[in-house]
Amino acid sequence: MQIPFFEHTIKSLHSLISDERASLSSVAGMIRHDPGLYLNLIQGLCLASGKCEAKTALQAISLLGAQGVERQIIQHDILLNEEHMQLWCYSVLAGELAVLINNKAGIEDEEVVYFSASLPIIGMLIMLIEKLPYKKVYELLLMLPIEDRVFVEQKLFQTSHIELLTKNFSAAAVYMDLINFINAVISAEGSKRPVIEEPGKLSLAYETFQLFYLMDTAGAGARAVLFPSVVEAQEKFRELCKRYFLIAESEVEELLAEALERLNAVSKLYNVEEAAMYCTASAEEIKQTAMQFLTKSPELNAGLERIRAAVCEEKNVLICGERGTGKRLLAAALYYQGDNPRRLNPYVTFHCDTSEDLLERDLFGSRSGYHNLQKHKGALEFANGGTILLKDIDRMPEHLLDRIIEIYSSGKFFKSGDKAPQKLDIRFILTSKYDLTEIASEGSSLRRLLDCLSPEAIRIPPLRERRQDIEFIADSIISKYRLNLNEEALRLGLQEYYEKEAFPGNLKDLKKLLFYIAAKHRLKS
């Protein structure tokens, strides 16, 4: 089948090919900015030779020649104009972020990681051809991670961009292995299965494993740039960069900023900088909701009043609750409350569920030359004078918990390799999906940390235990993402979902349900 190309990339590429002085590498460099053309060239070679060996555009055009590329362009008649600019911007951002991460992690050839990050977009391009009404909803679905996108697509179209990608894709083994891995992790119904065991670094599956998480991470980063108010995407990008590629949290903002700069440079190359700037600027107009954590539950309200008072008194806080109950939101709301004496001082979030070596360097910092490390400013130093949120504190190794106890007790901390201590004045917010006051065994480092910090603790119940809150939480999601679900008939229908759905993933499940209803409404309108 024919996969759409982007009109502006084809126009510029045609001009370049017509220039006899143009090198094959410069042509290949432009081809990667059009995922449909990239796949078309590689699949064309597969059909012509019966072998799928070319995995880069440079390899493909070395075999086809510039004139062969031009023939494919001329024969192709499905072109997307600037109305689809957001889809193109997403593809470029994901590709550039994959390259930037690859520069640090050294996974594969630059072209391979760029194209790997573009695979979900190719699936969406196929959906545009196979399911014509898809054009009404794809911009909405770009805000969602792959698994939630699949969930909505399956309900609306009885297929998904991943399923159609799998059916219509033939290319080099590196890409076929990646697509098989995507299908192994993301179910046809749109749930994400956990990878039980990471393959060994010397195994054949390790590169596929890394490419999958590179694709997933780059997608989260693209959403973070295009939709700045989607805080979950920024948090997910930060978490995945750290967990799978050992990139310090302090470096994440630089990656996002550089990716945006690269998008601006690429858009100038194709004379679409104004349209691309409109995509990023209009995304920033998405309404920011107030940083508040509200409830109608008298019991939860009493707990909130207690920890708000604790923050005013500069006490530490422990927030427990299942995944997706709003622990991050509550932590931010506590920091931003008007009577927090540290509100104008730094606020740093820190993910504890990652490799031990990176945890130590990223939290405490390091001096230059220590164990061949570069000088690195740790999260504690960034947060000094303010507040640090330690997410999933139960995942932190015991010896690092002991070090936090020592630091908090003495009011001083050492960077790794430093001999001179620095003063520390910091307040801690700890989160965990477990009730740490119950599971922290006597004598354990976690129990000693809780005894040392004496945090004011609160448990956030799951949505199924506070259904009275679901409607106004849903209203804030509808407003934030401009889902246009305000008609009376729609709201009555939503009430039934609020009363009956189990929401095992809590806010994540509520959000994808609302996106499904919004997309369904768009198709009918």
Length of the chain: 525
- Given pLDDT bands bounded at 50, 70 and 90, which one contains residue 110? very high
Q: Kindly give, in sequence order, each residue whose CB lies less than 8 Å from that of residue 3, ignoring residues fewer than 6 positions away.
A: 36, 39, 40, 78, 122, 125, 126, 129, 168
**Residue 415 pLDDT exceeds 80:** no
Percent of the chain with pLDDT over 90: 64
Higher local confidence (pLDDT), 188 or 402: 402
Instruction: Quote the pLDDT of residue 375.
Output: 63
- Fold for 5-283, please state it: Hypothetical protein af1432 (1.10.3210)
- Per-domain boundaries in the chain: 5-283, 298-461, 470-524
Confidence of residue 282 (pLDDT cuts 50, 70, 90): low
**Predicted local distance difference test score (pLDDT) of residue 69:** 78
Question: Contact, 348 vs 379, CB < 8 A?
Answer: yes
Give the per-residue pLDDT at 199.
Answer: 81
Write down the pTM of the prediction.
0.91
Tokens of 427: 């307040």
pLDDT at 453: 96
Question: What per-residue confidence (pLDDT) applies to 372?
Answer: 46
- Mean predicted confidence (pLDDT) in 454-482: 94
Alpha-carbon span 99 to 217, nearest angstrom = 12
19-58 pLDDT tens trace:
778 788 888 888 899 999 988 888 877 776 667 777 888 8
Give me the pLDDT at residue 17, please: 83
**Summary mean pLDDT of the chain:** 89
Across the range 369-378, mean pLDDT stands at 59
CATH fold of 298-461: Rossmann fold (3.40.50)
Give the residue with greater pLDDT, 237 vs 285.
237
Query: Which pLDDT tens digit goes with each residue over 292-338?
Result: 898 999 999 999 999 999 999 999 999 999 999 999 999 999 999 99
Strand 5-6 relative to strand 79-80, pairing: parallel
Q: What H or E segment, with its residue span, contains residue 191?
A: none
Q: Is-contact 468 296, C-beta < 8 A?
A: yes
Q: Phi then psi for 390, rounded to 5 degrees?
A: -100, 100
Judge whether residue 162 has pLDDT over 80: yes
Band of residue 261 on the pLDDT scale cut at 50, 70, 90: very high
**What are the tens digits of pLDDT across the range 419-435?**
778 888 999 999 999 99
- Burial profile 298-310: b = 16 or more Cβ within 10 angstroms, e = fewer: eebeebbeebbeb
* Least confident window among 157-161, 199-203, 484-488: 199-203
456, β-bridge pairs: 317
pLDDT at residue 62, as a whole number: 80
pLDDT of 111 > 60? The answer is: yes
Task: Write down the pLDDT at residue 505.
Answer: 93
Dihedral sign of CA atoms 483, 486, 489, 495 in order: positive
Tell me the range of 2-11, 212-221, 349-358 where mean pLDDT is highest. Answer: 212-221
Concatenate the DSSP letters of all residues of 197-260 into one string.
SPPPTTSTHHHHHHHHHHHHHHHHHHHHHH-TT-HHHHHHHHHHHHHHH---GGGHHHHHHHHH
As a whole number of angstroms, the longest Cα–Cα distance in the chain is 76
Q: What is the 3-state secondary structure (H, E, C) of 316-349?
A: CEEEECCCCCCHHHHHHHHHHCCCCCCCCCCEEE
In this model, does residue 369 exceed pLDDT 50? no
Give yes or no for residue 100 having a pLDDT over 80.
yes
Confidence of residue 417 (pLDDT cuts 50, 70, 90): low
The pLDDT assigned to 477 comes to 92
| 327: phi then psi, degrees, rounded to nearest 5 | -65, -45
Check residues 2 and 127 and name the one with the higher pLDDT. Answer: 127
pLDDT in the model for residue 289: 44
Contact between 12 and 31 (Cβ < 8 Å): no
- pLDDT number for residue 511: 95
